[in-house]
Structure 1
Amino acid sequence: MAVQDVAGARVAAAGGADRLELCAALAGTGGLTPSTGMVAAVADALRGTGVGVHVLVRPRAGGFVFSAEETDVQVRDVRSVLDAGADGVVVGAMTPAGEVDAAALAAFVAAAGDAEVTFHRAIDQVARPVDVLEVLASAGVRRVLTSGGAPRAGEGLDALAALAGRGRELGVEIMAGGGVRVEDLPALVAAGVHAVHLSARRTVVADGGPGGGGASGYDVTDPDVVAATRAALDAGTAP
């Protein structure tokens, strides 16, 4: 489950989430690297719960083709968030030709050491994602977050089923994510994915004034959506 702060992490853990992806600016950008202070605070809050904290490492919005400087920043961020208490990292990089950036990925995996590495939805830009799984497995990726190439995971069921099947052969978990709704969960589980990923967020209206982003508000993790997700998974065969 994607969360953005300590309160959201507590809500998700209490509601039955098994693993969290901690990020920042989720609604506006699709997620960016959170501060090391936030990582440390969430890790402290969840210590002893058994809920893993995996941190998104992404320096900016606007795609996944990164310069050498941006790649270096991400390598530093991987090390920093793990030092702050994260259990794993969520990364991804692409070449201008639309292929996985193997050199950048190798640098991220090396920086992660023994920590788990998840490759994020950059894979949904790949023309033949099933073929890419072998590359990711060889690089040391443990898990892949994907919608099956569709705008929403609930619309990518056939691709997700194919990915899950190949992932089992390679020892790579397939985690369905991207616009996941509670009503999508039975079909996603039936597709054979190893896990499902959603944000369970709602917006709180707040006026920041001229210097605070206006009246756009901010996101919080909704305990009702978390509870409904856990109930839906428990009612079926949870991945």
Structure 2
Amino acid sequence: MHPVTLALELAVHDPRGIAVASRVGPTRIELCTALALGGLTPSTGLVDAAVAARGAGGPAVHVLIRPRSGGFDYDQHERAVLLADCRAAAAHGADGVVVGLTRTGPDGAPELDLDGVAEVVAAVPGLEVTVHRVLDTLRSPAEAVAALRGTGVRRVLTSGGAPRAVDGLATLRDVVAAAGGEIEVMAGGGVRPEFVAALSAVGVHAVHASASRDGADVLDLGLGSSPESTRHATTDEDLARHLMAAVRAAR
């Protein structure tokens, strides 16, 4: 079992976020782009920037690999892109990748694609693999986590099936039990500093947050998008610092 010392993972999607994380000091970042869409695969240029920041004392770099918005049932072409992006992240110096894949089960409901997860683990030997909140789209996050034991997956990210992790405490407790000490459990989804103590109390190993705020720049290309959907969110350093303080206090 990995030592239980509460960690903070900060989700960032631009150079400002990388710089803020370097100053605030989370254990790692989840690097992505398009946070407003739930996060998509970042460019290799952004990966290089994060890896360079790590080399200068910044946090570990875990790269979200998600080839498109929407659900996680990928066809063979999308899966090929996903695996290629995993290998590219490894080649550019990432410490880990963050993925999630589903397939349609016998009853028509989505289930975790364990074969796809195994392909990812095999594609990035030596890197940590995290299975993300795809778990919260399934009937039982705890059962899915139990099925991941022995696959080489290092950690999972889940809100306990609730819109906010603080509302999914009972399921998060079940997920921790299902992980059996073999897989780290990270709580994410609407995490704020005042929720960290309650999340820590159910035994999670880490909390995950974007600490984001809307920026002032809005792009209107006349495509019918609302102003809020085209506003660029950025990392709020004050909020990130409060999250870091709450994590330290809960250790």
- The aligned runs of 1:152-231 (5 Å cut-off) are 152-167=164-179, 169-208=180-219, 210=221, 216-231=230-245
Of all paired residues, the percent bearing the same amino acid is 46
SS of residue matched to 2:213: strand
Q: Indicate the residue corresponding to 2:40 in structure 1.
A: 32
**Cα drift, residue 121 of structure 1:** 0.5
Matching residue within 49, 62, 65 for 2:70: 62
Determine whether 1:131 maps to 2:143.
yes
Give the TM-score of the pair, scaled to structure 2.
Answer: 0.88
Distance, in Å, in 1 between the alignment partners of 2:210 and 2:183 is 22
User: What are the ranges of 5 or more consecutive residues in structure 1 without an aligned counterpart?
Assistant: none
Q: For the Cα contact (< 8 Å) 2:22–2:58, is it kept in 1?
A: no
Instruction: Provide the residue aligned with 1:91 in structure 2.
Output: 99
- Whether the 8 Å CA contact 1:64–1:93 is kept in 2: the answer is yes
Aligned residues: 235
Q: How many angstroms apart in 1 are the aligned matches of 2:47 and 2:162? A: 30
Q: Distance in 1 between matches of 2:170 and 2:221?
A: 47
Residue 234, structure 1, aligned to residue 248, structure 2:
yes
**Matched residues in 1 for 2:133 and 2:218: separation?**
32
Q: Is the 8 A contact 1:174 1:195 kept in 2?
A: yes
Kindly tell me: are residues 174 and 231 of structure 1, through their superposed partners in 2, closer, same or farther at Cα, counting changes over 3 Å? Answer: same
The CA deviation at 1:209 is 5.0
Structure with more of its chain in strand, by fraction: 2
Secondary structure of residue in 2 paired with 1:206:
strand
8 Å CA contact retained: 1:55, 1:90 = yes
Structure 1 residue runs of 4 or more that deviate by more than 3 Å after TM superposition: 207-216
Shift of 1:211: 7.8
CA contact (8 A) 1:23 1:34 kept: yes
- Work out the CA distance in 1 between the residues paired with 2:68 and 2:220: 25
- Structure 1 residues 217 and 125, CA gap change in structure 2 (3 angstroms): closer
What is residue 81 of structure 2 aligned with on the other side? 73
Matched, 1:45 2:57: no
Structure 1 counterpart of 2:128, one-letter code: E
Is the 2:13–2:33 contact (alpha carbons within 8 Å) kept by the matching residues of 1? Answer: yes
**1:162-195, Cα deviation, whole Å (9 max, x unpaired):** 212332x241000000111222111101111000
Equivalent pair of 2:95/2:128 in contact (CA under 8 Å):
yes
Q: Say whether 1:21 aligns with 2:30.
A: yes
1:35 to partner: Cα distance: 0.6
Report whether the alignment pairs 1:109 with 2:121: yes
Flag the 1:146–1:207 CA change in 2: closer, same or farther, 3 A: closer
Cα distance between partner residues in 1 of 2:111 and 2:124? 22
Superposition TM-score, scaled by structure 1 size: 0.92
Specify which structure has the bigger relative contact order, considering alpha-carbon pairs within 8 angstroms and separated by 6 or more residues: 2
Equivalent AA in structure 2 for residue 181 of structure 1: R
Q: Secondary structure at the match of 2:104?
A: coil
- CA, structure 1 residues 206+192, in 2 after alignment: closer, same or farther (shift >3 Å)? same
CA displacement, residues 1-26 of structure 1 (integer Å, 9 cap, x when unaligned): 10012221121231121110000101
Aligned-partner SS, 1:99: strand
Counterparts of 1:140 and 1:71, CA distance in 2: 19
Contact 2:41 2:65 in 1 (8 A): yes
